[in-house]
Amino acid sequence: MGIEVVVEGLTKSFGRHVVWQDISLSLPAGEVSVMLGPSGTGKTVFLKSLVGLIRPDRGQVLVDGIDIAHCSERKLYAARKLFGVMFQDGALFGSLNLFDNIAFPLREHTKYTEAEIRRIVLQKMEMVGLAGDGHKFPGEISGGMRKRAGLARALVLDPQVILCDEPDSGLDPVRTAYLSQLLIDLNAEIDATILIVTHDIQIARTVPDNIGMLFRGNLVMFGPREVLLTSDHPVITQFVNGRRSGPIGMSEEKDATTLALEEARDGALSQELPALVPQLDPSPGMPERQAAERRRARVMTMLHTLPVPAQQAIVNSLGPGGQPDPAEPDDWEEPADASDSDEWQEPDDDEPDDWQEPDDRPGRWPSHWPGGPR
């Protein structure tokens, strides 16, 4: 089972620019969390400070009893073996081919024989759909493949905590959906704590158990997914709807006059949010997500402290029959792509079905919005 990551009062500034201040949250053990935020709000800095690549000015990051933010270099290197980090561009070693890249942590940290290393690496490569690409060099492959290779490399040491920096950036929506499914399957399989840093609302709506949002150097909110997805906080409704009018401006901040002008022009925009879509389930054949059960118990104990819409959403999701059945996808031809593994060809997530429903729901994701189906 994954381990809990507790962040307390974290503050970081570069020179006079405060990136974020006083962030306190806790990533529950074994659950999937997403940190949202507009570009340039320090999401990546936050992720890097969780693994001690950036030392914060104040506050602490507790992982397995070790304060990552202040411990000695030696303890830090030991603690990092608990983490698997998927960097934005994969951060593969350009001088090594994919196989050697993915084998690198094993060769550095374990005494496995070459045959065992080969077995583990090939298994992870198949898991991310890169079977047969081991001889290629990072410079020769597409951005999506680099990301997947970076993920495979993050997985070889069986990490307790997996951090993903923008798994969606530079990927098409379909590949993003596959990657989302892969992360959920991964969570079901190894029960690791996962944090995804992203600004992709589609991932935020379907993947995580918990969502947080960073804006203007503050943590706007962190909690169960239903809380943020049903919130009427202006920043969150603007972000989730991908609208121009709201507190988020082009250059991060918007002053009060512009805001007032916008309000006068657009009138009172409906604060309605897109309807809550059910969370992704692991692909058939995967074990049940143990985190789902733990989370249910945890959320129920704190139910009375949550806002009413979130309470309703949670109760609905637990309603008779629990999660809605993932319907079979329509007869959709699979491209015969030999290089893709089975995991990547599973069309069993329920998104395509969801998108094709008739326009009968108030907050359905309209096709002309960013991140929409087509």
Partner 1 sequence: MSTQQSGAPGGTQEPLPRAGQVPGLGALRQTGNLFALAASVLWLSFKRPFQVRELIEQFWFIASVTILPSMLVSIPFGAVITLQVGSLTQQLGAESFTGAASVLAVVQQASPLIVALLIAGAGGSAICADIGSRTIREEMEAMEVMGVSPIQRLIVPRVMAASLVAVLLNGLVSVVGVLGGYFFFVYLQHGTPGAFLASFSSLAQLPDLYISEIKALIFGFIAGVVAAHRGLNPRPGPKGVGEAVNQSVVISFLLLFFVNLILTAIYLKIVPPKG
**Residue list 327-356, contact with partner 1 (CB under 8 A):** none
Q: How far apart are CB 258 and partner 1 at their closest, in Å? A: 13
Q: How far apart are CA 280 and CA 286, in angstroms?
A: 13
**Is 30 a binder of partner 1 (CB under 8 A)?**
no
Task: Give me the half-sphere count of Cα atoms (radius 13 Å) on the Cβ side of residue 1.
Answer: 13
- Binding window for partner 1 (CB under 8 A); candidates: 20-28, 60-68, 196-204, 357-365: 20-28
Say if CB 30 and CB 290 are below 8 A apart: yes
What pairing do the DSSP bridges indicate for beta strands 161-165 and 193-197?
parallel
Say if CB 176 and CB 183 are below 8 A apart: no
Write the interaction track for partner 1 spanning residues 54-83; mark x where CB under 8 A is met and - where it is not. Answer: ---x-------------------xx-xx-x
**Residue list 273-332, contact with partner 1 (CB under 8 A):** 298, 302, 305-306
Number of residues binding to partner 1, judged by CB under 8 A: 55
**Residue list 96-115, contact with partner 1 (CB under 8 A):** 104-105, 108-109
Q: How far apart are CA 354 and CA 277, in angstroms?
A: 8
Q: How far apart are CA 155 and CA 128, in angstroms?
A: 10
- Residue closer to partner 1 by CB (options 57, 126) is 57
DSSP, collapsed to helix, strand or coil, labels residue 193 as strand
Say if CB 91 and CB 40 are below 8 A apart: no
Place of tokens 């690791």: 192
Q: What angle do CA 92, 192, 127 make, to 5 degrees?
A: 50
**Is 152 a binder of partner 1 (CB under 8 A)?**
no
- Residue closer to partner 1 by CB (options 178, 222) is 222
Q: Which of 162, 220, 276, 291 binds partner 1 (CB under 8 A)?
A: 220
Name the DSSP letter for residue 277: P
**Is 219 a binder of partner 1 (CB under 8 A)?**
yes
Among residues 130, 87, 84, the alpha carbon closest in space to that of 105 is found at 84
- Residue closer to partner 1 by CB (options 63, 177) is 63
- Residue closer to partner 1 by CB (options 305, 356) is 305
**Is 21 a binder of partner 1 (CB under 8 A)?**
yes
Percentages (nearest 5) of helix, strand, coil residues in the chain: 35, 15, 45
**Residue list 221-240, contact with partner 1 (CB under 8 A):** 221-224, 227, 233-235
Write the interaction track for partner 1 spanning residues 127-146; mark x where CB under 8 A is met and - where it is not. Answer: --------------------
DSSP, collapsed to helix, strand or coil, labels residue 335 as coil
Residues that bind partner 1 in the complex, under the rule CB under 8 A = 11, 13, 15-16, 18, 21-22, 24-26, 28, 48, 51, 53, 57, 77-78, 80-81, 83, 85, 87-89, 91-94, 104-105, 108-109, 150, 153, 157, 215-224, 227, 233-235, 247, 256, 298, 302, 305-306
